[in-house]
A and B are shown apart, each in its own frame.
Chain A
Amino acid sequence: MNFSIGQTIKHAILILGALIVIAPFYTMVSYSFKSQREIETGADTGFFGSQEVIIDEFCVHRGQPEREEVKDTLELYPEKTERDVYNILLDEVKKNCTKKPVFFNYQSAFTFAPLLRYLLNGVIVTVSIFLIQVIVALPAAYALAKLRFWGRDFAFSLVLFCLLIPVHAIALPLYIMLAKVGLTNTYAALIIPWTISVFGIFLMRQFFMTVPDDLIDAGRMDGMSEFSIIWKVMLPTAIPALLAFAIFSVVAHWNDYFWPRVVITGERNLFTPPIGMREYRADSDGTFYGPIMAVSTVIVTPLIVAFMLAQKRFIEGITLSGMK
């Protein structure tokens, strides 16, 4: 392999950039393997940590011998004092609660708060948002790209204009509207504001512009209605662009902290993963970095896996739509 100086510099810069991007992920995954002490002392124990066994204080607390239990045991060993029996039982509990930090971290991730429930909420919300966005964006994009009607260009310029509106600017009015109709603390509140994605309309419109008119005319000659043209002709040809849009949409709403925080006030069963993470925040015992990092790892994994699977088509979609 021959690398010119230019190529080498280019790659060096890219590698540096990649390292900067990966560093937080590295820390996150590494911490999720380590014990609290290792994290706090910053001891150099490698990526996986020393995996020295630790005693799970919560587990011990939960398993603390009850007075009844101590009394029952005392009857079997009349020669011992109550104190001794208590300590023996406690030692037993401690033995059972001794584990490697990686197990402690990931176990706490799922037991400390209903993480699975949060993940399920995340799936429900992101999938619903994406599906409705597609149902709205595809016909709109088709009309803007392929139909001739009065005011089309104006409608499209409105779409472009809407791309410029930051979400946070309209958050308050949106919240008030949802509150007025009594929808706060529902899935609807999490989903409805995002169902019309101007970005989706724009992206799909750009893609549809590249679909030859003949294909649509062929559909019309074959007897398709405009809607069946959208779902049976345009949708299958637009899969790469749709995948690109899916990544944008799912990533944005899976990771969204702001909006769920606004409309979900207290109803813990509706927490999405990012606000669910707040449950692991510091309490009076201090912050448990290990479990928090484990939660973070669990939350980002589905996205990373999905991206890896769709990567090739995703890039195809971006380049096809001319948004390189």
Chain B
Amino acid sequence: MSGIFLKKINKSFGNTLVLNNVDLEIYEGEFLTLVGPSGCGKSTLLRILAGLESSDSGEVFIGGADMTKVKPADRNLAMVFQSYALYPHLTVSENMLTPLKLRHLSTLERFPLIGPFISREKRNELTERVRKTAKILKLESFLKRKPGQLSGGQRQRAALGRAMVRNPVGFLMDEPLSNLDAALRVHMRSELSELHKALGSTFVYVTHDQAEALTMSNRLAVMMDGNILQLGKPREIYEKPSDIRVAEFIGSPKINIFSCNVIKSNQVEICGFKIQGNFQHFMDKKISIGIRPEHLSLTNDRNCIKGIIKHRENLGSDFFMHVESPNIEKRIILRVSPEEALNLQVDAKFNFNFSQKYALFFNSAGKRVEVFDPNNITNKKIA
């Protein structure tokens, strides 16, 4: 019963609609990521969930209780901010103590001078909790330091500590890794995942980085223009994007989109090659085919799609080839192995191909459509 429900959330700032009737259910203990380009409303949704922003309409349920009008502090959610938002004048341990003190000590017990005197036992207990949390996060040696004396990663950990120490129902994270350098970000990714497994509590994570979304989450919600376009497991979203915008947003480098014509009710044509399928609903309409860069393969067969390499990117483990092809206006990106790349210099001409089953079809509204018989998907190459 302690999942989180967001029901029909609407929000606009002035005339701009930021959230458009968003429904979202977050299961207890899951790692759910809200991902989308900047300005898609993901942070606003998180802030509405936290109670820092009020929605124009809609309801928020946490643990089965209606929390729509409840103050942020009383929702028992903890938040980790992009800028960490540690209190700069307090040490790490004081930072971590702050939410505990406000929650577990009465006003009188928090009063300067007499407060510590009458609540010594309680305070010792709270300090002990801080110490335990610090141990989990390997923060013990930094407890007496101020945020200004910590590195980015340590600050990140301190901010996590402040969130963890009070055992919240859920953790809300607003791009917590985007201020870290690349190496540390990758490291913190795995650390966060492990932390989630160890704590078993609900994590709601906001990011614009699809790599973070794919690597860490149990489920991810792809948001665009105030709507959740697709909600599902990372693999599902990568392999079966429901919308062309999702397909383009998730995956790096970007998916290749070819527009092509339906020539018969069971056939489309792409660069002079034909793909068989069930196209009877799309007669005389445009249809787009999406193919991920790793699904395009080089071939020696001269009858395949021709291309000229315009630019090559070396990533060490992979090469990305930016290719121009006759009859296709957009550049195509291919992922090839370093061995294959040896023979492919800029301006080299070559042929490539793809297997039908990897082709994703999108209708003119951008929705993905199934064109193959699900029981009979072949590995057949297009040419």
Contact = CB atoms under 8 A, between A and B. Distances in A.
Contacts of B50: 217, 221
A223 B90 CA distance: 17
A223 B72 CA distance: 7
A241 to B, nearest CB: 14
B103 A218 contact: no
Contacts of A232: 87
B88 A237 contact: yes
A8 B84 CA distance: 46
Q: Which of A212, A214, A215, A219 has the most CB of B within 10 A?
A: A214
Given A236-B87, A236-B89, A223 B73 contact: yes
Interface stretch (B18-26, B74-82, B234-242, B330-338): B74-82
Interface string A190-230: 00000000000000000000001011011111111000000
Contacts of B83: 212, 214-215
B102 interface: yes
Contacts, number: 57
Contacts of B79: 217-218, 221
A25 to B, nearest CB: 37
Interface string B75-118: 00111011111111110000000110011000000000000000
Given A220-B52, A223-B103, A236-B89, A214 B81 contact: yes
A210 to B, nearest CB: 13
Contacts of B102: 222-224
Contact of A215 (B72, B87, B103, B162): B87
Nearest to B103: A223
Contacts of B84: 214
B85 A215 contact: yes
A233 B88 CA distance: 9
A236 B147 CA distance: 14
Given A214-B81, A217-B52, A217-B81, A222 B99 contact: yes
Interface size, A (range): 10 to 19
A237 B84 CA distance: 15
B178 to A, nearest CB: 13
A220 B87 contact: no
Interface string A32-73: 000000000000000000000000000000000000000000
Contacts of A217: 47, 50, 52, 72, 79, 81, 85
A222 B89 contact: no
Given A214-B81, A214-B82, A221 B87 contact: no
A34 to B, nearest CB: 49
A219 B89 CA distance: 13
A218 B85 contact: yes
A219 B79 CA distance: 10
Q: Which of B51, B74, B99 has the most CB of A within 10 A?
A: B99
Q: Which of B78, B87, B103 has the most CB of A within 10 A?
A: B87
Contact of A221 (B77, B82, B88): B77
A223 B99 contact: yes
Contacts of A218: 79, 81, 85-87, 162
Contacts of A224: 73, 102
A215 B83 CA distance: 8
Interface string B25-68: 00000000000000000000001001110000000000000000
Contacts of B51: 220
Nearest to A212: B83
Given A214-B81, A217-B79, A222 B73 contact: yes
A221 B73 contact: yes
A226 B155 CA distance: 25
A221 B73 CA distance: 5
Nearest to B52: A217
Nearest to B50: A221
B89 A220 contact: no
A222 B50 CA distance: 11
Interface in B158-217: 162
Contacts of B73: 220-224
Given A221-B73, A223-B73, A233 B82 contact: no
B72 A220 contact: yes
Contacts of A215: 83, 85, 87
B248 to A, nearest CB: 30
B72 A233 contact: no
A139 to B, nearest CB: 19
27 contacts: A212-B85, A214-B83, A214-B84, A215-B87, A217-B79, A217-B85, A218-B81, A218-B85, A218-B87, A218-B162, A220-B51, A220-B71, A221-B52, A221-B73, A221-B77, A221-B79, A222-B99, A223-B74, A223-B99, A223-B102, A223-B103, A224-B73, A232-B87, A236-B87, A236-B88, A236-B89, A237-B88
A-B pairs, 8 with minimum CB distance: A223-B73, A236-B89, A218-B85, A223-B102, A214-B85, A222-B99, A214-B81, A214-B83
Interface of B: 47, 50-52, 71-74, 77-79, 81-90, 98-99, 102-103, 162
Interface of A: 212, 214-215, 217-224, 232-233, 236-237
